[in-house]
Amino acid sequence: MNRVLSAAAFGCAGLLASSLPARAHVVAGARVFPVTLTLDDPGVSDEVSIPALTYARDGADGGTGPTHEYDLGFEYDKTITPTTALILNDGGDVFQTNGSRTRTGLENLVVTGKWQVCTSAAHEFVVSLGISREIGGTGTSSTGADAHGSTTPSLYAGKGLGDLPIGLLRPFAVTGELSYTIADKGLKTLPAAQGGTGDGIAGAFNDGSNNAWFGGASFQYSIPYLQSQVRDVGLPSVIGSLVPVVEVNWSSPASAPSAQGTRWTVAPGLIYLAQWGEIGVEALIPANKAAGSTVGAVALLHLFLDDLFPHGIGRPIVQ
């Protein structure tokens, strides 16, 4: 880590130490669902990720060489009404392969409309629906951005266990996401004479994509909830602001031909909730052969605009 990064890290640490142990973000009754790192949270709010930094090395990303991949993801969520939001996602990729030139590029822009359909305060329950549109050709093709877009309807849900008579287990919560991506241009096998992209496997394919399923779940234990709803055990504010979390997700092609199999990833980590936002860090552990063989990592710095600017950009456009 160079000196600039070190100074920045110390600065962040200082801000962390001085912060109040408050928390956000999707709120259902006494339950606060923090922003998870590998799947979307179950509700809508005004927030921004600056950034989510993901690191993967060769096998963790399904590659064959010693390639280090850094993804710098940005997200901006803007509520239109208290229960609907428009979300913009984009990011940059850096690929460093030993012995080769470093490649950099942008990812395709993704626009999502999300509707928080149901919120039960008494049962700490949230359900949302979303539809995302990946705009093909807005990213850099040499680093993997598709020339063709896709459309992805999604279902999100979150449930806290605080309404159950289970004592110290009440701080547990589960969130989940299920998505189905419909590619604009399907993946097809090309006759050998036409070549195709090859896509790294035997046979040749066009530049289309598979339709695909994505599913994920997070299992989280909220220490803030423990302290404020179940038992104040007198923890220091920094520890009292932590949410240990394990996220599990999978993706699977849903159409033939398929260049890749179903991938499973497990991501254990910690989320620190503050008044202004959260910081999360998780390991990305491949859980099957298709997901690779090396452990990656993801870190998130996320700001809660509705808490920071409740009278400005942090409030819905239409109340």
Partner 1 sequence: MTSRSIAVVLGCAILALVPDTAALAHAFLRNAIPAVGSTIRQTPADVTLAFSESVEPAFSTITVTNAQGVRVDRGVLHRGVDDARLAIGVTPLPPGRYVVDWHALSTDTHRTQGRFSFTIVP
Query: Rule CB under 8 A: which residues touch partner 1?
Result: 2, 4-5, 8-9, 11-12, 15, 18-24, 27, 29-30, 32, 50-51, 53, 70, 72, 92, 94, 104, 121, 224, 227-232, 274-277, 301, 303-304, 306-308, 310-311, 314
Task: Decide if 58 contacts 294 (C-beta within 8 A).
Answer: yes
> Cα separation of 269 and 286, whole Å?
14
Least Å distance between CB 105 and partner 1? 11
Nearer to partner 1, 72 or 182 (CB): 72
Nearer to partner 1, 130 or 162 (CB): 162
Angle at 280 between CA 222 and CA 65, to 5 degrees: 135
Task: Decide if 78 contacts 46 (C-beta within 8 A).
Answer: yes
Least Å distance between CB 277 and partner 1? 8
Could you tell me which residues come within 8 angstroms of residue 22 by beta carbon, excluding any fewer than 6 positions away?
273, 274, 275
Least Å distance between CB 4 and partner 1? 5
Torsion-angle region of 124 (φ positive above 0: left; ψ -120 to 50: alpha; else: beta):
left
* SS3 state at 178: strand
Nearer to partner 1, 253 or 277 (CB): 277
Q: What Rg, from alpha-carbon coordinates, does the chain have?
A: 21
How many C-beta atoms surround the C-beta of residue 25 within 10 A? 22
> Which of 107, 164, 114 shows the shortest CA–CA distance to 138?
107
Task: Decide if 81 contacts 68 (C-beta within 8 A).
Answer: no
> Cα separation of 71 and 107, whole Å?
9
Least Å distance between CB 77 and partner 1? 15
- Which residue's entry shows tokens 């598709």? 146
> Cα separation of 259 and 138, whole Å?
23
Least Å distance between CB 190 and partner 1? 36
Nearer to partner 1, 94 or 290 (CB): 94
Least Å distance between CB 62 and partner 1? 23
Nearer to partner 1, 92 or 186 (CB): 92
Least Å distance between CB 137 and partner 1? 22
Nearer to partner 1, 182 or 301 (CB): 301
Nearer to partner 1, 40 or 93 (CB): 93
- Which residue's entry shows tokens 């010693």? 66
Least Å distance between CB 112 and partner 1? 22
Nearer to partner 1, 33 or 205 (CB): 33
- In angstroms, the Cα distances linking 109 to 75, 137, 221, 229, 247 are 10, 9, 33, 40, 25
